[in-house]
Homo-oligomer: A and B are copies of this chain.
Amino acid sequence: MENKTERFEKLLVKNGLKRTAPRLQVLEILSGRDSATSQPYLEQVMGKDADRVTLYRVLQAFEEKGIIHKVLDQQGTANYAICSDGCSAHEHHDEHVHFNCDNCHKIYCLDSVKIPALKVPVGFKVEHLNLIATGLCANCSDKVN
């Protein structure tokens, strides 16, 4: 059985990206979490292991290649989650709902919840849909009760 780092290295190579420490570190961090990860948090965790600018460039490259997708929370903060299989440089398949908890502020990818089609006014051509639900996540609504 191949380990995680090997998988990540293959993923980078497959996308024509060199396997560098900052990139592997970002993949490690994102994959070890059950919800999307904010840029500020990533920056803090990476600390001096990588420059801020490098982090931005790693995230941008990953997004372009379809390795991760970006979700803006209600405050406009960028959050990143690893894409499910099927995303590529040419096409993101992430039309699932995102859930932004009002209490813990985590953002969950609800991969099983698809966004329903919409009837829009004449003339408008819908390309993508982006739905963010807010409320209490499973963890937080447990604690409250």
Contacts and interface: CB of A to CB of B under 8 A. Distances in A.
Given A116-B116, A120-B97, A131 B129 contact: yes
B97 A118 contact: yes
Interface string A34-45: 000000000000
A14 interface: no
The size bracket of the interface on A is 35 or more
Could you say how many copies of this chain the assembly holds?
2
B135 A128 contact: yes
Contacts of A120: 97, 99, 110, 113, 133
Interface stretch (A5-13, A21-29, A55-63, A70-78): A70-78
A130 B123 contact: no
Contact of A128 (B97, B115, B133): B133
Interface stretch (A46-54, A85-93, A137-145): A137-145
Interface of A: 72, 74, 76-78, 97, 99, 102, 108, 110, 112-113, 115-116, 118-139, 141-142
